[in-house]
Amino acid sequence: MKRERKTLAAIFVVCIVGITTGVVIYTGQTLGKSLLTVSTTTSLFDTGVLDTLKTEYEASHPDIILAFISAGTGIAITHAKNGDADLILVHSPSHEKAFMDEGFGVNRKILAYNFFTIVGPSEDPANISGVDASTALSRIYDYGQSLNSSIWVTRDDNSGTNSKEKQLWAAAGFDYETIKEADWLVSSGTGMGATLRMATELELYTLSDIGTYLKFFADGLIDLQQLVVPSESLLNVYSAIAVNASRVEGARFNLAMDFIAWLVDSSAQETIGNFGLEDYGQALFLPAVGVIESQTSNEIYGWIRSYAFFDYDGTLYECPPPWREGDYGLYQS
Amino acid sequence: MAIIELVDLRAGYDGQLALKGVNLEIDQGEILSLIGPNGAGKTTLLKTIGGLISPSSGSLVFRDTDITDTNREILRENATLVFQNPVHFGTTVYKNVAYGLRIRGVDESDVDKRVKETLELLGLSGFESRNARKLSGGEQRRVSLARAVAIDSSILLLDEPGADLDLESKRIVEETLRSLSKDRGTTVVMATHDMFQAKTLASRIATVQDGQIERIGRASTVFRLELESRIGDHPVLNRFRAQAVWIESDWTKGGHLRLRLEGGLTLEATGHRDGDVTIIIPPEDIIISRQAVLSSARNSLKGSVINIEASNSSVLLTVDVGIELVAQITEDSLKRLKIEKGDEVFVTFKASSVTVY
Amino acid sequence: MTLASEIVEITLRSLFVSGFAAFIATLIGLPIGVLVGLRKFRGRPLVKGVFNGMMAMPTVALGLILYLLFSQTGPLGFLQLLYSPYAIIVGQAILVVPIMVSITTETIENVDPSIRELALTLGADESGARAAVLRESIGGILLASSASFSRAISELGVALMLGGNIVGLTRILTTAIALETARGEVALGIGLAVVLLVVMLVINVSLRLAEKRVRWWLWQ
């Protein structure tokens, strides 16, 4: 009888010990360390580049824990507005501008860029290989109208990629909301990976960010080809914005600025530029800091400038002066 | 002495009365059998006596104390019900049987002793560590009984103790009940369908019909009446009409009955009735003698043998004492008394042998 | 960190987080379930219905509601729980309490009513009779605990919304599976799912094996 009561007590004790161990380990992991919460979009997070950056940053900053929270662009920004992040890493200039306009973000810094791509079956029935995005979409539209069966898949989820798609259709002279009703267009309503796989299965064209495409292609999960040539309209620019501590209570502004400064530094830029080279034979991201600093009048700088810079008093700025906080030597003009 | 007395007791479940005015006295140490059809209220009656159901009206007296409204837990402490369907705690036979003792805070060493004794009594030695729920039907019933016996309650209530029992288990159960009643003075109340079991085990039988006690009396008499009502036109022996008069008397506290039969014959019986009644005198309760005997029995009559009829192992004598009484004696007695047709004999029977209804 | 050690770490964290959640849910849900199962009171069907219905709570919705509560600007933001394992633990515990309550109640109700009467007629008082009924329910109560644990460890919405899937801090098996699937690491995703299933199978089978013994133990 006593032995049995003891056994029950032992089960209880095991539970308590297990729980306590967990608590102690977690406390040990976080004790004396500061948590820097970075809210980011899934398409960026899912490439894995942030894990590489985290490893390097934490190695040189042992008292910091970098916590990336990934969600769709809209939710990622909401997190920051709610004070649940110290920094955002996103790729949607219109969202970013609104975020800063409302006073939530300061010290925006463009870190990297790459190009969206239109991918499709290797047979390329709409014949868009080697043309620019607008021409490609026009051909797809014509081909779709004549075919009356599915030819294009859209994510239709208000993601960064989906926003880009809308801009592209508009640039090619079509209204997204109208063509969404067409029989040749399919809505996937899901993430990039799942949409790419759907495109493979159904032999459809779609717009993809380069990172997800390369990753899935290299892993043999999809059988789609990049068909269009990179152009200004396909440009994708990634920036970091610190959460404004005077607007959002509890935001760890100094930690956020340390991290942004580190990201801007040449070694982190190199890491970003090298990410994926080995695995995919192509870089997923191209460092942007050098391009902007050199202010060379090359084509890319111009594209970034017109696409991702913000207008203030008639001048284009990476981060307009009123939205700069403190002096971290981030901007030349 | 009555250990439990029920007066105009009503009880039931969910507002539906299963007992509709039960009057019943149960004597210390007797074996009382309740017979009656399904749904008559036998189980409810047992549960009420066992303190598992609260009466909705009437009164309940335990050992001369009215416990209708207060302290009915005393019934649960003193009466133990053995359910119709064997229910066991999901553990060993030993722990099942020890349960009641441990609840009562009995010393572990005494628990062990009592459990082992009880198991032996019920032929369950060696079953201690078996799972009670995985035994055969008969063994499970014996475990149920053992659980109650181990506590040594003063009242043992059994719901259909004989149902679906193998012969061996039946013998053990019946022997146990007899010895409990005889040796320990345990009062046993059992509900049963089995009239023959009722007759062999019980000293009294009560028939329960539609929530009431229909008739109650000596086992043999009620058995016979029941048999008659079931067989229909089969004649019941020694049944007569009579006029009953209740007489206060000193030889029985509750008074007694004087019965006047056709032809002016007078008999004495126990009970409390007045007016026209029917009486039955069980043939096996009648003593036949060559000479008048001085005995405690209140009824002694002289008559002549008008018929001798042998059945299997016994003999039925019809004696004309003014009425024709049938007596059952053994063949051996017939030979010993050398009785022949036309002989003068004396018939003797106790007042309590006469069932009046 | 090697892949294997990372999987081990994530698995252990999952066990810790969901085990803690199930433990809390048991501490809260067991007494409620026992009460609802044993006592007859007015409005009992309503209470049961509410708990049964709450079992259908979508994890993402619960995650969202709790996110709004735990968010820095939310009413419970001062607790600083968001993006910590404790947020997931609280969320999962809330998620599984209805399961704990419902199964416990159902089990107790399904115990043969004669068990109660048996205990009473053998001289037990009301609390003794309740104890006897509870002992008979031990299998179901264990099931309630293990089902709560299973539900907690297999849910994604709460862990993702409240934990944030932070490497080394709040990444657990389901959030890792979701991430690897999104990243196209299908093999790793399936591997992690297998780990989750194997762990749950081992735990549940041992619980079932232990059940009889526990029931035996409970009989003094």
In this structure, is residue A331 part of a structural domain?
no
Q: How far is B197 from chain C (nearest CA, A)?
A: 24
Task: Provide the pLDDT for residue B188.
Answer: 94
Place of tokens 């007596």: B327
Q: Write the pLDDT tens digit of every residue in A132-166.
A: 999 999 999 999 988 878 999 999 887 778 889 99
In this structure, is residue A4 part of a structural domain?
no
Both A110 and A121 in a single domain? no
In this structure, is residue A253 part of a structural domain?
yes
Name the residue in chain A with its Cα closest to that of C164. A69
Contacts of C10 in chain A (CB under 8 A): none
Backbone angles phi, psi at C124, to 5 degrees: -75, 150
Whether residue C111 contacts residue C165, with contact meaning beta carbons closer than 8 Å, is answered with no
Q: How far is A140 from chain C (nearest CA, A)?
A: 27
Hey, are the CB atoms on C115 and B77 less than 8 Å from each other?
no
CB-based burial of residue B130 (10 Å sphere; 0-12 exposed, 13-18 middle, 19+ buried)?
middle
Structure tokens belonging to residue A330: 């981030």
Supply the CATH classification number for the domain C3-218: 1.10.3720.10
Pairwise CA distance, residues B44 & B46, whole Å: 5
Closest CA to A245 of A85, A71, A75: A85
Hey, are the CB atoms on B90 and C135 less than 8 Å from each other?
yes
> Chain C, 21-80: which have a CB under 8 Å from a chain A CB?
23, 71-74, 77
Angle at A185 between CA A179 and CA A191, to 5 degrees: 110
In this structure, is residue A239 part of a structural domain?
yes
Task: Provide the pLDDT for residue B279.
Answer: 85
Single-letter code of the amino acid located at C125: D
Q: How far is B183 from chain C (nearest CA, A)?
A: 22
Confidence of residue B232 (pLDDT cuts 50, 70, 90): very low
Contacts of C181 in chain A (CB under 8 A): 193
Backbone angles phi, psi at A136, to 5 degrees: -60, -45
Task: Provide the pLDDT for residue B36.
Answer: 83
What is the interface size between B and C, counted as CB pairs within 8 Å? 59
Task: Provide the pLDDT for residue A73.
Answer: 82
Q: What are the residue ranges spanned by the domains of chain C? A: 3-218
Looking at CATH, the fold of the domain delimited by B283-350 is given as OB fold (Dihydrolipoamide Acetyltransferase, E2P) (2.40.50)
Hey, are the CB atoms on A82 and C73 less than 8 Å from each other?
yes
Single-letter code of the amino acid located at C99: I
Closest CA to B91 of C215, C173, A265, A88: C215
Question: Where a domain ends, among A233, A252, A267?
Answer: A233
In this structure, is residue A13 part of a structural domain?
no
Range of A106's domain? 18-114+235-323
Q: Write the pLDDT tens digit of every residue in A237-294.
A: 999 999 999 999 888 999 999 999 999 999 999 999 999 898 888 889 999 998 888 8
Share of chain B above pLDDT 70, in %: 93
Both A54 and A143 in a single domain? no
Using the predicted structure, report yes or no on whether residue B316 has a pLDDT greater than 60.
yes
Interface mutation target, options C40, C107, C114, C122, chain B, most CBs of B under 10 Å: C122
Share of chain A above pLDDT 70, in %: 97
Backbone angles phi, psi at A286, to 5 degrees: -115, 130
Using the predicted structure, report yes or no on whether residue B231 has a pLDDT greater than 60.
no
Hey, are the CB atoms on C118 and B148 less than 8 Å from each other?
no
Task: Provide the pLDDT for residue C219.
Answer: 67
| B212-218 β-sheet, strand order | B79-82, B155-159, B187-192, B31-35, B204-209, B212-218
Name the residue in chain C with its Cα closest to that of B155. C121
Both A84 and A132 in a single domain? no
Both A249 and A310 in a single domain? yes
Backbone angles phi, psi at B17, to 5 degrees: -75, 125
This prediction has a pTM of: 0.75
Confidence of residue B138 (pLDDT cuts 50, 70, 90): confident
Q: What is the CATH number of the domain that holds A67?
A: 3.40.190.10
Contacts of A215 in chain C (CB under 8 A): 183-184
CB-based burial of residue B236 (10 Å sphere; 0-12 exposed, 13-18 middle, 19+ buried)?
middle
Task: Provide the pLDDT for residue A331.
Answer: 86
Both A110 and A246 in a single domain? yes
Question: Where a domain ends, among A215, A233, A251?
Answer: A233
Both A138 and A182 in a single domain? yes
Q: Does C139 touch chain A (CB under 8 A)?
A: no
CB-based burial of residue A289 (10 Å sphere; 0-12 exposed, 13-18 middle, 19+ buried)?
buried
In this structure, is residue A264 part of a structural domain?
yes
Task: Provide the pLDDT for residue A1.
Answer: 46
Tell me the mean pLDDT in the region B281-292: 87
Confidence of residue B234 (pLDDT cuts 50, 70, 90): very low
Q: Does C209 touch chain A (CB under 8 A)?
A: no
Q: Which DSSP state fits A321?
A: G
Question: Where a domain ends, among A201, A217, A233?
Answer: A233
Place of tokens 């399936």: C190
Closest CA to B156 of B146, B143, B141: B146
Supply the CATH classification number for the domain B2-231: 3.40.50.300
The per-residue pLDDT of chain B, averaged, comes to: 85
Hey, are the CB atoms on A69 and C165 less than 8 Å from each other?
yes
Hey, are the CB atoms on C121 and B89 less than 8 Å from each other?
no
Tell me the mean pLDDT in the region A58-77: 90
- SS3 annotation, B120-150: HHCCCCCCCCCEHHHCCHHHHHHHHHHHHHH
Both A280 and A132 in a single domain? no
Confidence of residue A29 (pLDDT cuts 50, 70, 90): confident
Name the residue in chain B with its Cα closest to that of C213. B91
User: What are residue B287's DSSP bridge partners?
Assistant: B348
Q: Write the pLDDT tens digit of every residue in B50-62.
A: 988 888 888 888 8
Query: C93 in helix, strand or coil?
Result: helix
| ipTM exceeds 0.95, yes or no | no
Out of A90-99, A237-246, B64-73, B101-110, pick the least confident: B64-73
Hey, are the CB atoms on C184 and A68 less than 8 Å from each other?
no
Range from B35-49, B220-234, C94-108 that averages highest in pLDDT: C94-108
Q: Write the pLDDT tens digit of every residue in C141-198.
A: 888 999 999 999 999 999 999 999 998 889 999 999 998 888 888 888 899 999 999 9
Confidence of residue B233 (pLDDT cuts 50, 70, 90): very low
How many angstroms from the chain centroid is the CA of residue B208? 13
**Sign of the torsion formed by the C-alpha atoms of A73, A79, A80 and A84:** negative
Contacts of A245 in chain C (CB under 8 A): none
Whether residue A119 contacts residue A205, with contact meaning beta carbons closer than 8 Å, is answered with yes
Closest CA to B46 of B215, B180, B161, B204: B161
Q: Which of the other chains make 3 or more beta carbon contacts under 8 angstroms with chain C?
A: A, B
Q: Does C122 touch chain A (CB under 8 A)?
A: no
Q: Collect all residues from B whose CB is shorter than 8 A from any CB in C.
A: 47, 50-52, 73, 76-77, 79-81, 83, 85, 87-92, 95, 99-100, 102-104, 147-148, 151
Contacts of C219 in chain B (CB under 8 A): 89, 91-92, 95
Q: Which DSSP state fits B226?
A: H
Contacts of C165 in chain A (CB under 8 A): 69-70
Q: How far is C122 from chain B (nearest CA, A)?
A: 5
Choose among B77, B83, B89: nearest Cβ to C132: B89
Q: How far is C179 from chain A (nearest CA, A)?
A: 7
Choose among C15, C19, C183: nearest Cβ to A48: C183
Hey, are the CB atoms on B87 and C125 less than 8 Å from each other?
no
Structure tokens belonging to residue B79: 């009466």
Helix C126-136, helix C138-154: angle, nearest 10: 50
